[in-house]
Structure 1
Amino acid sequence: MCEESTPEEVYHLLDDKYARTILTSTDTTAKSAKELSEACDASLPTIYRRTERLIDCGLLEEQTELEGDGHHYSVYKARLKRLTVELENDELKLTIEEREPETMADRFTRIWEEL
Structure 2
Amino acid sequence: MAEEQSIEEILDTIGDKHARRVLAAISREPQSAKELAEECDLSLPTVYRRVELLDEYDLVTDRTLVAEDGNHYKVYESNFESTVISLEDEEYKVRIYREENLPDRFSQLWDELNPE
- Name the TM tier (shorter chain): 0.7 to 0.9
Q: CA deviation at 1:65?
A: 1.2
Q: Gaps (5+ residues) in structure 2?
A: 102-116
TM-score by length of 2: 0.79
Question: Residues 12, 86 of structure 1: CA spacing in aligned structure 2 closer, same or farther, 3 A cutoff?
Answer: same
Per-residue CA deviations over 1:64-97 (Å, capped at 9, x if unaligned) read 1111222110110000211001111111111111
Look up the equivalent residue of 1:47 and give its one-letter code: V
List structure 1 segments (4+ residues) > 3 angstroms apart after TM superposition: none
Contact 1:30 1:76 in 2 (8 A): yes
The Cα RMSD (Å) is: 1.6
The number of aligned residues is 101
Q: Distance in 2 between matches of 1:93 and 1:4?
A: 11
Identity value in percent: 41
Q: Confirm or deny that 1:55 pairs with 2:55.
A: yes
| Structure with larger Rg | 2
Which has the bigger relative contact order, CA under 8 A and spacing at least 6?
1
